[in-house]
Structure 1
Amino acid sequence: MSSPTDLLGNAVEAAKKAVQFDQEGETNISAYYYEAAARLLEQAAIVSSPESIEPLKEKADEYKNRANELKTKTPEESKIVESDGNRSKLKQCYFLLQQAIDEDEQGEREDAVELYTKAIEYITQFPDLMQGELKALTLRALDRAEELKERPLVYIINSFNTLDTDVCFNPPDNVVQQKPTSSVIVPTRQKPELHRGSSAHLQISGQDTYSEEEKLVLLYTSKINKRDYVPFMSVDLSERFQYSIPFTDKDGYLTLSPKQKRDFYKFVRPDELSSDPCIVYGPAPNYLSIKQTVISDCSFVASLAVSASYEKRFGRKLVTAIIYPQSKDKRPVYNPFSKYMIKLHINGVARKVIIDDYFPIDRFGRLLCSYSSNKNEFWISLLEKAYMKVMGGYDFPGSNSNIDLHALTGWVPERVAIRMKEADFNKDSLFATLESRLAKGDVLVTVATGELSENDAERSGLVPTHAYAVMDVQTVKGKFENKWRGNYSELDTRHWTPELQNLLNYDPNSAAQFDNGVFWIDYDSVLSFFDVFYMNWNPELFKYTYCIHQSWHAGTGPVKDLYTVACNPQYSLDVGTEASGAVWLLLTRHITDIEDFRENKEYITLFVYKNGRKVYYPFDPPPYIDGVKINSPHYLCKIILGPGSTRKYTIVVSQYEKSTTIYYTLRAYATCPFALTKIKDPYVEERQVTGEWKGITAGGCPNHPTTYPNNPKFKVEIDSA
Structure 2
Amino acid sequence: GLELWVSIIEKAYMKLCGGYDFPGSNSGVDLFSLTGWIPERIFFPEKPDKVRDFETPVERVWERVYSANSYGDCLITMAVSSDITEDKAKQVGLVTGHAYAVLSCIKTSNGTRLLQLKNPWAHQGWKGRYSAKDRTSWKDPRFCAEVGYNPALASEVDDGVFWICWEDVLVYFRNVQLSWNPALFPFRTTVHSFWPKDQGPSDDSFNVGDNPQYILTMSDKALQKKSSIWILLSRHVTKQEQEGMEVQDYLTLHIHRNTREKDRMWYPGGKKCVLRGAYTNNCHVLVRYDVAGPEDKYLSLVLSQYQKSHDLGFTLSCFCTNSFKLGQPMKDQPMSTSISSEWTEPSAGGPIGQEFFRNNPMWSLVVPAEGAFVQTRCSSVKTFAINVLLIEVDSPGKRIHSIDRKPVIDTGDYRHGFVATNAIWVPGGKYTLVASTFHRGQTGRFQIELKSSVKLNPIPIAW
Shorter-chain TM-score tier = 0.5 to 0.7
1:452 aligns with 2:102: no
Verify the 8 A CA contact 1:700 1:711 in the aligned structure 2: no
Alignment-mate amino acid for residue 585 of structure 1: I
Task: Please tell me the root mean square deviation across aligned C-alpha atoms, in Å.
Answer: 2.9
Residue 601 of structure 1 deviates from its aligned partner by 1.2
Q: Which moved more, 1:437-446 or 1:419-428?
A: 419-428
Task: Establish whether residue 579 from structure 1 lines up as the match of residue 225 from structure 2.
Answer: yes
CA distance in 1, matches of 2:361, 2:44: 61
User: What residue is the counterpart of 2:115 in the other structure?
Assistant: 478
* Partner SS for 1:563: coil
Give 3-state SS (helix, strand or coil) of 1:474's partner: strand
Q: Distance in 2 between matches of 1:595 and 1:531?
A: 23
Kindly provide the amino acid, as one letter, of the partner of residue 523 in structure 1.
Answer: W
Q: Deviations over 1:640-680 (max 9, x none)?
A: 12456522211101111212211111111001111111113
Q: Secondary structure at the match of 1:533?
A: strand
TM-score normalised per structure 1 = 0.44
Q: Specify whether residues 642 and 558 from structure 1 end up closer, same or farther in structure 2 by C-alpha distance, changes over 3 A only.
A: closer
CA gap 1:574/1:415 in 2 versus in 1, 3 angstroms? same
Mapping for residues 385-424 of structure 1, pairs under 5 Å: 385-419=11-45, 420-422=48-50
The residue type equivalent to 1:625 in the other structure is L
Q: Which has the higher helix share?
A: 1
In 2, Cα distance between equivalents of 1:431 and 1:710: 58
SS at match of 1:398: coil
| Contact 1:591/1:597 (8 A) holds in 2 | no
| Number of positions where the alignment pairs a residue of Structure 1 with one of Structure 2 | 340
Say if 1:520 and 1:701 are closer, same or farther in 2 by CA, change over 3 A: same
Counterpart for residue 99 of structure 2: 467
TM-score by length of 2: 0.67
Partners of 1:710 and 1:650 in 2: how far apart?
Answer: 35
**Partner deviation per Cα, 1:357-404 (whole Å, 9 max, x = no partner):** xxxxxxxxxxxxxxxxxxx32233222111100001110201011110
- Bigger share in strand: 2
Counterpart residue number, 1:546:
189
Which residue is equivalent to 2:247? 600
Deviation at 1:449, TM superposition (A): 1.4
2:145 matches 1:495: no
1:561 paired residue number: 204
Label 1:573 to 1:597 Cα distance change in 2 as closer, same or farther (>3 A).
Answer: farther
| CA deviation vs aligned residue, 1:204-247 (integer Å, no higher than 9, x gap) | xxxxxxxxxxxxxxxxxxxxxxxxxxxxxxxxxxxxxxxxxxxx
Alignment of 1:685 onto 2:335? yes
For residues 304-703 of structure 1, the aligned pairs below 5 Å read 376-419=2-45, 420-422=48-50, 425-450=56-81, 451-453=83-85, 456-476=88-108, 477-482=114-119, 483-496=125-138, 497-577=140-220, 578-595=224-241, 598=244, 599-612=246-259, 613-621=263-271, 623-643=273-293, 646-688=296-338, 700-701=346-347
Structure 2 counterpart of 1:466, one-letter code: H
Q: Hey, what's the Cα distance between the residues in 1 that align with 2:361 and 2:286?
A: 52
User: 432-441 or 476-485, which moves further after superposition?
Assistant: 432-441
Change over 3 Å in CA distance of 1:528–1:421 after alignment to 2: farther
Describe the superposition over 1:531-563 as per-residue Cα deviations: whole angstroms up to 9, x where unpaired.
Answer: 000001111111101112111111111111111
Write the distance in 1 (CA, Å) between the matches of 2:176 and 2:359: 66
Separation in structure 2 between the aligned mates of residue 687 and residue 562 of structure 1, nearest angstrom: 25
Task: For residue 487 of structure 1, report the CA deviation from its aligned partner.
Answer: 1.0
Deviations 1:444-465 (A, max 9, x none): 0100112203564244222211
The alpha carbon displacement at 1:620 in A equals 4.0
In the aligned structure 2, how far is the partner of 1:455 from the partner of 1:394?
Answer: 26
What SS does structure 2 have at the residue aligned with 1:540?
helix
Give, in whole Å, the separation in 2 of the partners of 1:416 and 1:689: 48
Please give the per-residue CA displacement for 1:470-503, whole angstroms capped at 9, x wherever unaligned.
Answer: 1221223211124211111011000113223333
Deviation at 1:699, TM superposition (A): 9.6
- Greater C-alpha radius of gyration: 1
Does the aligned pair in 2 maintain the 1:609–1:622 contact within 8 Å?
A: yes
Structure 1: gaps (5+ residues): 1-280, 282-375
**Relative contact order, higher structure (CA 8 A, sep 6+):** 2
One-letter code aligned to 2:69: L
Q: Distance in 1 between matches of 2:6 and 2:60?
A: 34
Gaps of at least 5 residues in structure 2 are 109-113, 120-124, 350-357, 373-426, 428-463
Aligned partner of 2:230: which letter? W
Shift of 1:597: 6.7
Distance 1:392 1:378 in 2: 22
- State the alpha-carbon separation in 1 of the partners of residues 64 and 161 from structure 2: 22
Q: Is the 8 A contact 2:118 2:161 kept in 1?
A: yes
Change (3 A) 1:649 1:643: closer
Contact 1:547–1:666, Cα closer than 8 Å, also in 2: yes
Cα shift at 1:621: 4.2
**Residue in 2 that maps onto 1:189:** none
